Amino acid sequence: MAQVAGLIAPAVDAHVHGTVLATRDLTRRYGNRTVLDGIDLTIVSGEFVALLGRSGSGKSTLLRAVAGLDAGVDGSGELDVAQETSVVFQDSRLLPWARVLPNVILGLTGRDTRAAGQSALDDVGLGGRETAWPNELSGGEQQRAALARSLVRRPDLLLADEPFGALDALTRLRMHTLLRRLCEKYRPGVLLVTHDVDEAVTLADRVLVLDDGRFVADRDLTDLGTRRSLRDPAFVAHREALLEALGVETTTTR
């Protein structure tokens, strides 16, 4: 059974055919305002889903519900999430009093924990920085350490809430390449919340647009393959369709 906002709801038939996230008729309310209004969403293992929406559309509310971080919020519906789930936030949330490796393996137990942490740091390009303090890392390096902390747990589902929003443009591009490579290696299901359409089209297999608590677009991007560029007409077509779903007028629609 899946517990949803204090209610007991029948679990969606998740983990069948590699399903790592399944919601049905998921609703969340703050007072008289319905923020999520009957959301149905399924993500399978290895699928990268990006979630777009204007401010206040319910993006972070959905992610927090999936992550189990909305205790006490009024709501209903069915929610089934893979047991091994990790979250990456916009800020790295590294403990400032702990060095990088202890931050990465925080909460893990077992004889091979340090080796696993070292391997995760190598994966994100931070091999050799195990004993650094978080304040000795750049913003991009801190986010890489946060990503290592998530991936060292080998999650079935990775939730990311605008993880690159505070980074400069060049660092963001580098993080896009890193995240895509690591997701191809470890094959978790991914739900990425972002406000950046180009980021969504660059990274995702599927892009959802949320507006007033409902999905208004669900776009399959698998035709783009893995090498994506604004020079590709198909990339541009997806980009403009998503901007239109967000209510943004593009050059070709004027």
- Taking only the tens place, the pLDDT of each residue in 6-61 is 332 333 344 445 999 999 999 999 999 999 999 999 999 999 999 999 888 999 99
Helix axes 113-123 and 139-151, enclosed angle (nearest 10): 130
> Do 146 and 94 contact (CB within 8 A), yes or no?
yes
Nearest to 160 by CA among 91, 76, 251, 58: 91
Q: What is the residue extent of each domain of the chain? A: 2-84+155-253, 90-154
Q: What is the largest CA-CA distance in the chain?
A: 62
Residue 88: enclosing H or E segment and its boundaries? strand 85-88
Reported as a pLDDT band with limits 50, 70 and 90, residue 252 is: low
Angle at 199 between CA 208 and CA 135, to 5 degrees: 120
**Fold exhibited by the domain 2-84+155-253:** Rossmann fold (3.40.50)
Handedness of CA 53, 215, 64, 18 (dihedral sign): negative
Which of the pair, 7 or 175, is modelled with greater confidence? 175
pLDDT at 3 over 50: no
> Do 85 and 159 contact (CB within 8 A), yes or no?
yes
pLDDT at 85 over 80: yes
Lowest-pLDDT range of 9-23, 58-72, 222-236: 9-23
> Do 74 and 30 contact (CB within 8 A), yes or no?
yes
| Residue pLDDT, tens place only, 96-108 | 999 999 999 998 8
What predicted TM-score, i.e. pTM, was given to this entire model?
0.88
Q: How far apart are CA 88 and CA 11, in angstroms?
A: 25
Which residues, 6+ apart, have CB-to-CB distance to 243 below 8 Å?
Answer: 197, 249, 250
Task: Indicate the residue type of 116.
Answer: A
Lowest-pLDDT range of 15-24, 42-51, 82-91, 141-150: 15-24
